[in-house]
Amino acid sequence: MAIKDGDTIKIGYTGTLDDGTVFDSSEDYGEPLEFTVGAQQVIRGFEDAVRDMEVGEEKTFRIEASEAYGEHDPNLTQSFPRSALQCDTEIEIGMIIMLGNADGQEMPAMITEVTDETITIDVNHPLAGQALTFSIKVIEA
């Protein structure tokens, strides 16, 4: 029976970037990914790809950045004085820090530049601007 909105399914998957780098895989978690189609629990392009598949079916598909985590937005990068960051550890490029917003929610930010006076952070999703390729198999529906 073909998968449709409202179905809860389990899939095995591997996600790669255009250069072949694996960025995520259900094998890393030791179990398939379970989600309800149409409930916006996964990125839109992923949901679109599984609709009409059947148990046991395999598929490889590519999701453009706009249908995945969006394009990289330079407005989500900002610099501020190093003294504004209270951190007990050495600050390094590539480090992920958690920032609180006005609503009390936390969001991850990557440190992209460090000077003696300033720190530059980027709050774009780490996969923003990237096209994603997935190889999937429907295990249960």
* DSSP SS3 for 100: strand
Q: What is the location of CATH 3.10.50.40 in the chain?
A: 8-70+127-140
Dist. CA 141–CA 129, nearest whole Å: 31
Per-residue pLDDT of the chain (141 residues; tens, 9 = 90+): 899 999 999 999 999 999 999 999 999 999 999 999 999 999 988 999 999 999 999 999 999 999 899 999 999 999 999 888 777 778 899 999 888 878 888 888 999 999 989 999 999 999 999 999 999 999 999
| Fold for the domain defined by 8-70+127-140 | Chitinase A; domain 3 (3.10.50)
Is domain 74-122 given the CATH code 3.40.50.720 in the classification?
no
Q: What is the location of CATH 2.40.10.330 in the chain?
A: 74-122
- Nearest alpha carbon to residue 121 among 87, 97, 137: 97
